[in-house]
A and B are shown apart, each in its own frame.
Chain A
């Protein structure tokens, strides 16, 4: 038995992982999510902004990280739409425009048709230049994003009239999968504004790999941090509770329970990982005792 486990073909592990992910999806396993104080802080930061606040949404991610970041982007857009904020979408990633378009279609166009493009939300699209774009947006936002996604000059867009620099936004919401992303937004745009009379608030949603790198900025420079699909599930739960509180008896559509749904496979996969590590160590120490491994 020990010999079999020591030489176990890795395809068995692949099969186990495949089942660990597939079975919860097929059985639609869902587990209750309780929001941690960090998710509650992120929610409160956005929820407590004055009505009609201007919110800058930077979607710096691509299809590879969409399964992890998509649900939190959905919840964030939905929350802003529910609160009636004016949303300014931008991205510094070449695939970002598709991510923005997806969320606009999925949330704003589908469930908030009363919101008018150019008055309540605007898609300013992609801009190349990474940190230089952030730096320039800090001093001249309209020059950095001179046209919206449709090619209309920002001078003709009503909701752009009051925007001169990033200081004119009440909050920055960055959903990021890497470079440039949340960390750079904090370093180049948020931190220099922290000392001002009305500091720019900032909430970052990021992948699990990025979360440890962003913790040093919380809560000093960051007002909220939504880490990976777990953070997204907590945030989604808070937004759904907010909706139920406002309109009791509302049925929550499936698309707004996506993060909680994705936590099912994650739970089983994590338990499998822990079991594999334990099993690997049992085999290792048993082998050492018998002298079959170094």
Chain B
């Protein structure tokens, strides 16, 4: 029963959504299932928060290595949750000046806005920017023209790297645009993206779509039960 009910829920929900795409009178049923999914997705955020708290609290109580980071995570989590729920520092909406909770938490001056502006935004942008340094180091050490495939990859990389900046224009603007304009780096980079890349990506997309269809069908028919957990 523990497995049978989830299997039936998955099968009914899945086939209903599929049917709603093809049979007009089942559209409302498909909408109902989608609404239920949206509610579950919202609840998943609460579950996710509870899961984070549980993992870090257990790490903290057991004093496992790195427990100090758990303290930082839990403090940040609690502070963000509290100032967000209580709308700390948020000014009331001009339309309802008497209602202190009517303002948007994302407006300047609010505590959540402050956390976003001065903590989340610089931290995440910095972490992302670090990629440039590691990519440069990796390119210097690992990008070798050892065989024909690697040489083709290198040539393509050069064209895209230069063609996607003004360097492409400066290096090849001597090529007459009317007769051999296609050989200019900026045009070559577009050609590579639109022809070679598109051809390869379309094949991958179609392959993935077929794989997703087959896997979905297996799940809906109860053949693949791995999402329920366990060995089955």
Contact = CB atoms under 8 A, between A and B. Distances in A.
Given A212-B201, A216-B205, A95 B107 contact: no
B96 to A, nearest CB: 9
Contacts of B198: 215-216
Interface in B45-95: 45, 93, 95
Interface stretch (A9-17, A50-58, A75-83, A197-205): A9-17
A256 to B, nearest CB: 19
A136 interface: yes
B90 to A, nearest CB: 11
Contact of A230 (B124, B136, B164): B164
Given A21-B132, A63-B116, A63-B124, A132 B202 contact: no
Nearest to A13: B137
B232 to A, nearest CB: 27
A127 interface: yes
Interface in B142-157: 142-145, 154, 157
Interface SS of A by simple majority: helix
How many B residues are at the interface, by size bracket?
Answer: 35 or more
B133 A228 contact: no
Interface string B187-227: 00010011001100110010000000000000000000000
A63 B121 contact: yes
A36 B128 contact: no
B93 A273 contact: no
B166 A33 contact: yes
B35 A143 contact: yes
A65 B30 CA distance: 34
Contacts of A34: 169, 186
Contacts of B107: 101
B38 interface: yes
B120 interface: yes
A243 interface: no
Contacts of A136: 31, 34-35, 38
B132 A269 contact: yes
A127 B39 CA distance: 10
A64 B166 contact: no
Interface in B20-47: 27, 30-31, 34-35, 37-38, 41-42, 44-45
Interface of B: 17, 27, 30-31, 34-35, 37-38, 41-42, 44-45, 93, 95, 102-104, 106-108, 113, 116, 120-122, 124-125, 127-129, 132-133, 135-137, 139-145, 154, 157-158, 161-162, 164-167, 169, 186, 190, 193-194, 197-198, 201-202, 205
A21 B169 CA distance: 20
A281 interface: yes
A18 B133 contact: yes
B38 A150 contact: no
B31 A140 contact: yes
A150 B93 contact: yes
Nearest to B37: A132
A16 B135 CA distance: 13
A271 interface: yes
Contacts of B42: 128-129
19 contacts: A10-B140, A17-B136, A33-B166, A63-B125, A95-B120, A101-B104, A101-B107, A101-B113, A128-B41, A129-B38, A132-B34, A132-B41, A136-B34, A213-B201, A215-B194, A267-B165, A267-B166, A267-B167, A279-B140
A279 B137 CA distance: 12
Contact of A14 (B106, B137, B154): B137
Nearest to A132: B37
A274 interface: yes
A278 to B, nearest CB: 9
Contacts of A258: none
A47 interface: no
A10 B137 contact: yes
Given A211-B193, A277-B154, A127 B139 contact: no
B190 A228 contact: no
Interface string A194-232: 000000000000001001110110100000000110100
Interface in A95-126: 95, 97-98, 100-101, 105
Contact of A149 (B41, B106, B141): B106
Given A36-B186, A132-B34, A263-B166, A272 B106 contact: no
Q: Give the top 8 A-B pairs by smallest Cβ distance, nearest first.
A: A31-B166, A129-B38, A63-B121, A267-B165, A101-B106, A64-B124, A129-B41, A276-B140
